[in-house]
Amino acid sequence: MTRVIVIDDSKVIRNAARKMLGVEFDVVTAEDGEDGWAQIQRDATIQVVFTDLVMPGMNGYELLRDIRTAADARTRALPVIVVTGIEDDEVARVRALELGATDFITKPFTTIDLLARARAHASHQRETSELRAQTTRDALTGLANRAGFLDRLQQDMAYARRHHQELTLVRIELDDFRPIFLQRGKDVGERLLVHVAKLLRATIRKEDTAGRVSLGGFALSLPAGDPSGVARMVSRVRADVAAQWTAIVGATFPVKLSAAVFKPPVETGLTAQDALDQCHAKLVPVAADADVTPAIVASPPAPAVTAPPVPPTPLRIDAMLEQIDRGNPQAAIAGMPLILRRLLPLLRLMNPTQRDTLIRFLQQSSNTPDRPKSADARQAS
């Protein structure tokens, strides 16, 4: 049974929501944002969040912020339905949208209101998770594939930049893997890859990401990881691989493994692909001795800025729409808080009918995956 959480400081609201949703869903409740956030962090089975905005302690806005900036990708992707009172104005809704609200329900709500939202978002969450698993996972090892790893690495780099934290990137390459694959056969090559993947999965933390990014290559994204500890971990992995190498591959091929431990300069706006390429360029053989660790390659210090600061680039909506048309929505996603703040004066000029129409449109569009319109479609609309 799908689990949802209802977060509200009113016991009456919590009990009413539990009764309305309890027929179809496993409902857990929290009396404020802090309690709700703690449950979301420790319970990976929660798939939909209902939350009030105005609560003592951590309010709904702060909860939204923590969910959308969480280190865990599953948590960041949770649908959050904001339950607003009739006294909440449109500014409050716009602020909630800026922070990543998925949908809205107005108090007093009905059973139909709650069930419709819970069904739609729980179903979308399941479908999205299944599709993401199919398109971002390596079928052989169960680790992220190259596309999935780059997507997660980009998120980790953005989080590290926003919170002024370090990020450690690791590359591990099975040298001469192609000859092993060709001469010893597919089964032997796959056994070796699965063995390495199992070692990596057992070594990393919950917030870390491991991926198979090439035929015989792996990568690790380690938020806030201690580089010296990471280097020792890489050497241990090499020793574990060496211990099983002969049993899997045979003595014909000696153990050859290269690795790099790299701290990408996230503050420069480096892309995930660039960071992975730079890390790959620094690969060096890892010594057979488990006590010998690969060198830690730090990003070069940023040069001192002596020129006067450059004025911020004006927000260009048309340019962002063109990027979306081309299948590149990242710039619009990253700039969404600024876009909404710039549009807020226009939103305040709307009359009540126009506001209601906009809210209904946002609610409807959030129930289906976004499909960027082409330029011709936008003109026709």
Rounded CA gap, 324 and 318, in Å?
10
Q: Which of 86-100, 249-263, 281-295 has the lowest mean pLDDT?
A: 281-295
Q: Are 126 and 47 in contact (CB under 8 A)?
A: yes
CATH number of 146-298: 3.30.70.270
* Closest by CA position to 35, among listed 25, 22, 49, 24: 49
Give the per-residue pLDDT at 80.
Answer: 93
Ranges of CATH 3.30.70.270 domains, the chain: 146-298
At residue 64, does pLDDT exceed 80?
yes
- pLDDT interval class at 13 (50, 70, 90): very high
Predicted TM-score of the model (pTM): 0.48
CB atoms within 10 A of CB 232: 17
Q: Is the dihedral of CA 333, 338, 343, 348 positive or negative?
A: positive
Distances (CA, A) of 150 to 42, 247, 276: 26, 33, 8
Give the per-residue pLDDT at 231.
Answer: 81
Rounded CA gap, 173 and 186, in Å?
18
CB atoms within 10 A of CB 8: 25
Assign domain 3-136 to a CATH class: alpha beta
Per the structure block, which two tokens stand in for 234?
């890489």
**What kind and span of H or E run contains 174?**
strand 167-174
Give the per-residue pLDDT at 66.
Answer: 92
Q: 53: Cβ–Cβ under 8 A, 6 or more apart, which residues?
A: 59, 60, 61, 82, 83, 84, 88, 92, 96
Give the per-residue pLDDT at 2.
Answer: 86
Q: Which of 62-66, 111-115, 195-199 has the lowest mean pLDDT?
A: 111-115
Residue with structure tokens 């989080």? 159
Give the per-residue pLDDT at 135.
Answer: 66
Per the structure block, which two tokens stand in for 231?
């280097």
Over residues 278-287, the mean pLDDT reads: 83
Rounded CA gap, 342 and 336, in Å?
10
Residue with structure tokens 């899997």? 248
- pLDDT interval class at 337 (50, 70, 90): low
* Closest by CA position to 291, among listed 232, 350, 251: 232
Rounded CA gap, 364 and 370, in Å?
11
Q: Please, what's the b/e burial string for 274-296 (b: 16 or more CB within 10 A of its CB; e: otherwise)? A: ebbebbbebbeebeeebeebbee
At residue 132, does pLDDT exceed 80?
no
Rounded CA gap, 303 and 34, in Å?
41
Per the structure block, which two tokens stand in for 89?
């104005």
Q: Are 61 and 95 in contact (CB under 8 A)?
A: yes
Over residues 318-334, the mean pLDDT reads: 70
Rounded CA gap, 148 and 132, in Å?
8
Ranges of CATH 3.40.50.2300 domains, the chain: 3-136
Rounded CA gap, 83 and 242, in Å?
56
DSSP-assigned beta bridge partners for residue 293: none
Rounded CA gap, 272 and 359, in Å?
35
Rounded CA gap, 109 and 89, in Å?
17
Q: Is the dihedral of CA 127, 131, 136, 142 positive or negative?
A: positive
Q: Which of 83-87, 124-128, 153-157 has the lowest mean pLDDT?
A: 124-128
Rounded CA gap, 66 and 41, in Å?
10
Side-chain-side CA neighbours of residue 52 (13 Å): 28
Q: Are 198 and 176 in contact (CB under 8 A)?
A: no
